[in-house]
Amino acid sequence: MRFAVRPGGTLRGSAAMPGDKSLSHRALILGAIADGVTRVEGFLEAQDTLATLGAMRALGVGVERSGATLRIDGVGRDGLTRPEGALDFGNSGTGLRLVAGLLAGQAFPTRLIGDESLSRRPMGRIREPLRAMGARIRTSEGGTPPLQMEGAKNLLTGIDYEMPVASAQVKSCLLLAGLYAKGVTRVREPAPSRDHTERMLASFDYPVERAGSCVALEGGHRLRARAIRVPGDLSSAAFFMVGALIGRDSALRLEGVGVNPTRSGVIRILRDMGGRIAVHPARDAAAGEEPVGDLVVHAGELRGIDIAPELVPLAIDEFPALCIAAACASGVTRVRGAAELRVKESDRLEAMARGLRAIGVEARTVADGIDIHGGAIEGGTVDSSGDHRIAMAFAMAGLRSREPVVVEDCANVATSFPCFAGTAAALGLRISQEERG
């Protein structure tokens, strides 16, 4: 599949974003091991989250789905059962890493697999601390999937782990393993990462302690089922925020989007670049829930900046979209401290630099970042490297290009935003979606 975007276009109107992917994964996993029935509204219907849903069903959890609404019949802390075969997570690194933590302390063995892209992603970062807790886990020789989890029920012990790199996925994996460990599991971060797991555990009445850069929990407590409303995904909204900022005379209202402060670095960065973005609270955060707001964005002139390294972990998934904003800004935008982008669905630093050069924008990578010289976008053909976020980012570049922008290899957009092209077209992007034989 490829996207073809004709030059020009203006984004106007209002739209709701699909449900937050990170929260949809976590609602499934925690609802599965809670006591009672968890009801989820706003669940993201995309390949990544449906892979996690399939894994929960394979582990013996009853899940009924009606569109974006779920009923999860929790089996309790100790009620998961051995699946008949391997758990296939497709392209979902979040699903695989989080469920690996959940399975580390079970009584049965499990094999976790993924597609070709996921099978290249590093798992040593969860393997080593899980082993330190007593888990029996094996990866490929290169430290990538598949993962083989052997039963380690009653063998896990809490650890005090200092993470070398801020990562919400690693932190969440260890906290989920900590639910089954003796004693206290403490995870210390070098910089803040999204705190969705801590918030949601608290909303399930599981005691969690947070102090500065440390989050801790004691194993052995139980989770109480609850109703969850998943807000719109800020990572999905980021493409439209950038599109509204760079599109001539654009004005958008993105409704009901999660604006968790450990996740909203993209808003802070775009505002630092001169972006006109207002956040109107939609409802208060309570009982561990996420803060939610309506984002109102107007077109304007952007300027290049040096992005503060401390903001990088708070916007790690939004950098493809931010690179398009930088391409349309006056001056140079510099990113450092972003080596984590090299181990996503693709090497996003190199993929973005190649794509920017393909449409006439000067871009140069360094080991942990990228320099982008803002200017005119000529247009051309971009290889998305099968990365959903890169595909959607370059689609927005057509708003400012002189010639059409064609983005190849876009099928993976279905992993996070299946209706992206339709939503974008309805708001004014001149986009068509083409199947290729």
As annotated, the active-site residues are: 317
State how far the Cα of 310 lies from the Cα of 324, in Å rounded to an integer: 21
Whole-angstrom CA distances from 82 to 59, 108, 313, 370 are 6, 6, 35, 45
What percent of the chain is helix, strand and coil (3-state, nearest 5)?
35, 25, 40
State how far the Cα of 40 lies from the Cα of 61, in Å rounded to an integer: 15
The gap from C-alpha 47 to its chain's centroid, in whole angstroms, comes to: 13
CB 277 within 8 A of CB 242: no
State how far the Cα of 304 lies from the Cα of 135, in Å rounded to an integer: 46
Identity of the residue numbered 58: A
Residue 114's closest CA among 271, 345, 276, 375?
345
Whole-angstrom CA distances from 417 to 17, 94, 112, 234, 413 are 9, 16, 24, 12, 6
